[in-house]
């Protein structure tokens, strides 16, 4: 029936007038819509300035979701599979259902007509013509445009509902409404980007995914939480990029929500408490350092979540604002005696943070310094609450200790390798400025200065002593430590990210304090946030400025899927020969992990030690149990067969495989078909 209707419209209704007008309608529909909108805009400009952006939002949501539906349904266009189609435009490379032209036309018509009823007839006539034109020119079935029209109506309805709900809520709670809408919009965008964006799994993400297939109490370099989280999401949704990254946007949204609630509690007697809370929560979303954490499922999103949650619980435990007047009169400020449960929750949260990233140990140090340096807080050394939290956090962390007892304390050796203890104390001004420069990059320069300046000034002149102390001691020691550490060795840009949680809150408090806007001119503040947002946007779409691959941080997240497709062919060819079973290995854990994920059969892969740092693959081992097998060895760059492997195989064949992007070489891999594995001699690790 669908095909019959398609040919009836595409050929049966063919005439010279439609041949002239329909290609124009399909390619110039937005201009036709604006001809209808202009009179209403001139008559009611204020109302139109609200309605027109809502129409753009509806069209944007419809277009994005329609594109996702195309890839889920994967229905080919009629011009791709039917013979005799009278094609009057390019067929396009995308799938057929739904027609995004129909989605966009009907979402715009429905949204605008809801607010301007007199516009309904011309708007829907245009929308129907657009839908009809897609079938007439031969690029869509009638069912595609019908589905697109329904999806457009639904999208417009959702946008209108959210607008009406938020307009009512805004009157009562403007700042929380802005935060809610911002987080919903950003989270939806992040899911759309994950599904359609250019980024493959990063090597670390792929490595954590391999952990999720071999659940354990702990792992060589990190605790087990990241493996459990990925195992849960992929168990529900399957082994896909979307499933691996599903929780990253959720964690980033939750972090902002906790910051908002935490900030309101900190400044609850301040008239601008909600405004400060909103600013701090959105600063996190705007900076490249944190925004990228909403897309990439490494250990950072859950770690920062547990750090922020622990901060909030710590404040609830020590705050003088908590508890009854009688408790405060008796010297049990904060109701510590009646709120043991807060310390219990704090201990669990810190423990889970430690199971995620060992940098969580700084929470102990920051809390200790907060107690030590302020007379009013030293009383906590004599109370049971902090010790309950400490012992419980260590109990939660105990699986890592047990695992290390059974694996030669390799995690301690690994962390010692990060600390570069074997090199001794050698001053490196280069690494110091590299780290400082990286902070300018991931926070952006002007905003970095504003945040640090605001954090320091807030500590010196903040109105509430306990609040300013707590905020200071949970950012300054962390950032200060890594600045000093960079004098001795390399420090990654994200290692100090936990410092910025309270630094953002402290700077928001200072920025919205009396007279600050006058001292720091409004254009400077606007420029700071504008630069942060622009840099964050470019980080998502680096192709807009055509960065060289060596300068593009996202380049390391591209080119892996192509390698997986190539390896499927090589693996299939070797298996087809029927000689022997085939295994896959590399000399880099990054390559081994990416191959395990991106090859269609998700094979078990191995990582040979030819003289490198230890990694998780060395814990798993197993390669020397495959003697007699054939193998495929893959390494990065254009290399010759390693001398250390020549005695491990009877023979090998070499192939260079370049991956191109926009006509340029993104990365080169070298693939070796190896025959007759005889075992490989283990080498000493170059480090941990």
* Contacts of 469 by beta carbon, 8 Å cutoff, 6+ apart: 370, 373, 374, 377, 459
Please, how many CA atoms are within 13 Å of residue 565, restricted to the half-sphere of its CB? 7
Decide if 490 contacts 432 (C-beta within 8 A): no
Mean pLDDT of the chain: 88
| Model pLDDT for residues 529-584, shown as the tens digit of each residue | 788 888 888 777 777 777 777 878 888 899 999 999 999 999 998 888 767 789 99
Question: Taking phi first (over 0 means left), then psi (-120 to 50 degrees means alpha), and beta for anything else, what does residue 501 get?
Answer: alpha
Q: What percent of the chain has pLDDT over 70?
A: 94
List the one residue out of 457, 459, 454, 453 whose CA is nearest residue 471. Answer: 459
Round to whole Å and give the CA distance between 492 and 431.
10
pLDDT tens digit string along 334-347?
A: 455 558 999 999 99
pTM of the model: 0.87
Does the pLDDT of residue 391 top 80, yes or no?
A: yes
Closest CA to 29 of 4, 2, 63: 63
Residue 394 has φ and ψ, to the nearest 5°, of -70, -35
Between these two residues, 78 and 205, which has the higher pLDDT value? 205
pLDDT in tens, 609-643: 988 889 999 999 888 889 999 999 999 998 899 98
Whole-number pLDDT of residue 543: 72
pLDDT of residue 96: 84
Q: Which residue has the higher pLDDT, 599 or 326?
A: 599
Indicate if the pLDDT at residue 422 is higher than 60.
no
CA distances from 176 to 165, 183, 530 (A): 13, 10, 22
Residue 154 has pLDDT above 60, yes or no: yes
Percentage of residues in the chain having pLDDT higher than 90: 48
Model confidence band, residue 252 (pLDDT cutoffs 50, 70, 90) = very high
Please say if the pLDDT value at position 328 is more than 80.
Answer: no
Class of domain 2-172: mainly alpha
pLDDT tens digits for range 226-249 = 999 999 999 999 999 999 999 999
What backbone phi and psi angles, to 5 degrees, belong to 641? -65, 125
Give pLDDT, residue 515: 60
> Looking at the predicted structure, is the pLDDT value of residue 326 above 50?
no
**pLDDT number for residue 25:** 83
User: pLDDT tens across 261-281, in order?
Assistant: 999 999 987 778 999 999 999
Greatest mean pLDDT among 298-302, 320-324, 579-583, 644-648: 298-302
Q: Give ∠ CA 202-208-212 in degrees, rounded to 5.
A: 140
Neighbours of 382 (CB within 10 A): 7
Residue 61 CB coordination number (10 Å)? 22
Lowest mean pLDDT across 375-379, 483-487, 517-521, 556-560: 517-521
CA torsion 34-39-43-45 (nearest 10°) is: 10
CB-side neighbour CA atoms (13 Å) of 297: 31
Q: Would you give the distance in Å from CA 551 to the centre of its chain?
A: 20
pLDDT digits (tens, 9 = 90+) for 37-82: 888 888 888 888 888 888 888 988 888 888 888 877 888 888 777 8
Cα 54 to the chain's mean position, in Å?
Answer: 27
* pLDDT top residue among 415 and 147: 147
Is pLDDT above 90 for 428?
no
pLDDT: which is higher, 30 or 515: 30
């Amino acid at each position: 029936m669908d095909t019959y209707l398609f040919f009836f419209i595409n050929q049966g209704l063919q005439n010279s007038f439609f041949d002239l007008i329909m290609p124009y309608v399909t390619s110039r529909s937005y201009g036709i819509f604006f001809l209808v909108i202009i009179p209403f805009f001139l008559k009611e400009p204020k109302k139109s300035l609200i309605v027109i952006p809502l129409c753009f939002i509806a069209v944007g949501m419809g277009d994005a979701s329609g594109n996702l539906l195309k890839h889920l349904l994967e229905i080919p266009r009629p011009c791709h599979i039917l013979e005799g189609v009278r094609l009057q435009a390019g067929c396009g490379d995308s799938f057929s259902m739904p027609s995004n032209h129909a989605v966009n036309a009907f979402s715009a018509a429905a949204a605008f007509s809801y607010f301007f009823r007199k516009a309904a007839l011309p708007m829907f006539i245009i929308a129907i013509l657009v839908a009809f034109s897609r079938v007439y020119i031969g690029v869509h079935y009638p069912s595609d445009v019908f589905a697109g029209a329904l999806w457009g109506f639904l999208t417009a309805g959702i946008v209108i509902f959210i607008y009406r709900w938020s307009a009512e809520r805004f009157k009562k709670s403007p700042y929380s409404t802005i935060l809610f809408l911002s987080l919903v919009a950003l989270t939806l965008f992040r899911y759309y980007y994950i599904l359609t964006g250019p980024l493959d799994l990063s090597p670390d993400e792929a490595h954590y995914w391999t952990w999720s297939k071999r659940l354990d109490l702990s792992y060589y370099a990190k605790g087990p939480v990241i493996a459990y989280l990925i195992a849960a999401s992929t168990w529900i949704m399957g082994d896909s990029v979307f499933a691996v990254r599903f929780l990253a946007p959720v964690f980033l949204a939750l972090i902002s929500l906790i910051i908002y609630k935490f900030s309101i509690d900190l400044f609850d007697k301040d008239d601008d408490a909600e405004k400060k809370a909103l600013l701090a929560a959105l600063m996190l979303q705007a900076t490249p350092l944190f925004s990228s954490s909403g897309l990439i499922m490494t250990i950072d999103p859950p770690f920062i979540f547990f750090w922020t949650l622990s901060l909030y619980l710590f404040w609830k435990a020590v705050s003088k604002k908590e508890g009854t007047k009688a408790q405060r009169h008796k010297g049990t400020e904060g109701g510590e005696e009646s709120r043991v449960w807060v310390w219990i929750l704090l201990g669990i949260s810190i423990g889970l943070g430690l199971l995620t990233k060992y940098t969580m140990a700084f929470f102990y140090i920051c809390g200790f310094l907060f107690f030590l340096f302020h007379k009013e807080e030293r009383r906590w050394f004599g109370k049971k609450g902090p010790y309950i939290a400490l012992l419980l956090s260590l109990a939660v962390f105990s699986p890592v200790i047990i695992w290390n007892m059974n694996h030669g304390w390799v995690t301690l050796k690994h962390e010692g390798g990060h600390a570069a203890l074997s090199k001794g104390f050698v001053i490196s001004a280069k690494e110091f400025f590299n780290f400082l420069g990286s902070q300018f990059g991931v926070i952006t320069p002007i905003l970095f200065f504003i945040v640090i300046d605001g954090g320091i000034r807030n500590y010196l002149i903040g109105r509430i002593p306990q609040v300013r102390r707590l905020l200071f001691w949970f950012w300054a020691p962390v950032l200060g430590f890594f600045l000093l550490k960079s004098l001795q060795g390399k420090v990654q840009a994200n290692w100090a990210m936990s410092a910025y949680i309270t630094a953002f809150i402290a700077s928001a408090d200072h920025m919205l304090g009396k007279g600050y806007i006058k001292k720091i001119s409004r254009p400077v503040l606007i420029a700071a946030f504008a630069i942060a947002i622009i840099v964050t946007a470019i980080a998502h779409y680096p192709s807009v400025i055509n960065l060289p691959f060596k300068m593009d941080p996202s380049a390391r997240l591209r080119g892996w899927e192509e390698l997986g497709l190539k390896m499927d062919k090589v693996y299939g060819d070797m298996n087809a020969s029927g000689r022997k079973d085939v295994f896959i290995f590399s000399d880099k854990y990054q390559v081994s992990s990416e191959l395990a994920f991106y090859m269609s059969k998700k094979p078990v892969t191995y990582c040979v030690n030819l003289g490198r740092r230890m990694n998780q693959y060395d814990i798993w081992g197993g390669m020397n149990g495959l003697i007699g097998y054939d193998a495929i060895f893959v390494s990065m760059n254009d290399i010759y067969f390693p001398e250390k492997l020549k005695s491990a195989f009877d023979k090998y064949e070499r192939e260079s495989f370049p991956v191109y992007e926009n006509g340029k070489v993104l990365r080169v891999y070298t693939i070796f078909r190896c025959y007759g594995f005889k075992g490989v001699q283990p080498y000493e690790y170059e480090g941990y």
